[in-house]
Amino acid sequence: MARVFNFSAGPAMLPEEVLLQAQEELPDWRGSGLCVAEMSHRGQEFVSIAEQAEADLRELLSVPDDYRVLFLQGGASSQFAMVPMNLLRGSDRAAYLNTGSWSKKAIAEAERYCTVEIAASTEEARFTRAPTQDELTLDPEAAYVHYTPNETIEGVEFPYIPETGDTPLAADMSSILLSRPTEVTRYGVIYAGAQKNLGPAGLTVVIVREDLIGQPLAGTPTMFDYATHVQSDSMYNTPPTYAWYLAGLVFRWIKRQGGLESMAVTNARKAEALYAAIDASGFYANPVELACRSRMNVPFTLADPELDRTFLTKAEATGLVALKGHRSVGGMRASIYNAMPEEGVRALIAFMQEFERKYR
């Protein structure tokens, strides 16, 4: 069967080149006689794979030396707890920006460990925009400020990095990390589940500034203390070796495409084309304020929701899959991460136009 264009929010498409390389290396990684999934994580072969992946990631993002890069498990959802456990550092307060479904989850988890101050919320606007810098009420006593630069479900992204003075900024970059250059030095901690732009599910990348490590909340489980993973090069226990390897192949692929600047240009082009098609029609709509529209996740509705099911069935028959919007917002959502080719977006637009002609 031919490969389809997978518009899922995650696990998402992987570059075909990466899949083919993995296929070729599957039974025998470079003459080792082993599949990467069979290797000891402490053996020379896997350690070289792990180190190369970290070096490539550091190079792609220009990660400074005083930041540690961790390859963990537990998903971004575990970071909802690890961030307060590690970043509170004796304080009982943290500030959160409430901008959508994922920040709400981060807030609910943080509330188990501290008082959460909502520095801004766009809930009243039904999460159709990001707050402006002027709207942020920042308490200098907060241990850190947490935000979600790209809300995967609502399709809202921040068009700027919040300025938080000396207060460390924590960012859930699950759905944008590696889709464009990122100024790492503006952040105390960045984390992302891998299953969108980085690789397969099962791996979580954390980039954390050194001075924030080592003062965990009392009672923090060993596995939830960043220091544990820093001291053991992310090998305190068995790491997700195969996911780490595949992510490493994705990092190399991104480098071959010209790095993050080049990813950003292609991603902007894909998003612009899709939003232009939505805006040009009287049939599809996207509710997000123009400046805050996500370049990764494009939610849209049909003029008549009764047609949703037909749209999805026909799209799938055309090889355009996983377009159903998140159950909490309904409608459609096209996630167009790095590995979604421009050809996939063009095919989606052509399908949408054809569908509109037939059914409006």
Interaction between residue 9 and ligand PMP (CB under 6 A): yes
Yes or no: say if 352 and 277 are a contact pair by the CB < 8 Å rule.
yes
Contacts with ligand PMP in 95-114 (CB under 6 A)? 102
Interaction between residue 199 and ligand PMP (CB under 6 A): no
Compute the half-sphere exposure of residue 348: CA atoms within 13 Å on the CB side of its CA.
31
Residue of 196, 225, 244, 270 marked catalytic: 196
Considering CB under 6 A, how many residues would be counted as binding ligand PMP?
12
CB of 148 to ligand PMP, least distance (A): 5
Residue 255: active-site member: no
Residue 196: active-site member: yes
Q: Which is nearer to ligand PMP, 10 or 131 (CB)?
A: 10
Beta strands, E only, 108-168: 115-121, 145-147, 150-151, 156-157
Helix (H, G, I), strand (E, B), or coil: what is residue 248? helix
Interaction between residue 294 and ligand PMP (CB under 6 A): no
Spatial neighbors of 49 by CB under 8 A, at least 6 apart, are 36, 244, 245, 248
Interaction between residue 73 and ligand PMP (CB under 6 A): no
Stretch that binds ligand PMP, among 70-78, 125-133, 234-242, 308-316 (CB under 6 A): 70-78
Stretch that binds ligand PMP, among 160-168, 170-178, 222-230, 343-351 (CB under 6 A): 170-178
Residue of 10, 131, 188, 248 interacting with ligand PMP (CB under 6 A): 10
Gap between the Cα atoms of 100 and 130, Å rounded: 9
Calculate the alpha carbon distances from 108 to 81, 103, 169, 183 in Å.
10, 9, 18, 27
Return the C-alpha torsion angle 341, 344, 350, 352, nearest 10.
-120
What pairing do the DSSP bridges indicate for beta strands 332-335 and 284-285?
unpaired
Interaction between residue 152 and ligand PMP (CB under 6 A): yes
Stretch that binds ligand PMP, among 69-77, 125-133, 222-230, 231-239 (CB under 6 A): 69-77
Q: Which is nearer to ligand PMP, 242 or 283 (CB)?
A: 242
Residue 253: active-site member: no
Helix (H, G, I), strand (E, B), or coil: what is residue 295? coil
CB of 277 to ligand PMP, least distance (A): 24
Gap between the Cα atoms of 290 and 156, Å rounded: 10
What pairing do the DSSP bridges indicate for beta strands 156-157 and 145-147?
unpaired
Residue of 172, 253, 270, 324 marked catalytic: 172
Contacts with ligand PMP in 171-190 (CB under 6 A)? 172, 174-175
Q: Mask: binding to ligand PMP, 121-140, rule CB under 6 A, as x and -?
A: --------------------
Q: Within a 10 A sphere around the Cβ of 319, how many other Cβ atoms?
A: 15
Q: Which positions are catalytic?
A: 102, 172, 196
**Under the rule (CB under 6 A), what is the footprint of ligand PMP?**
9-10, 75-77, 102, 148, 152, 172, 174-175, 193
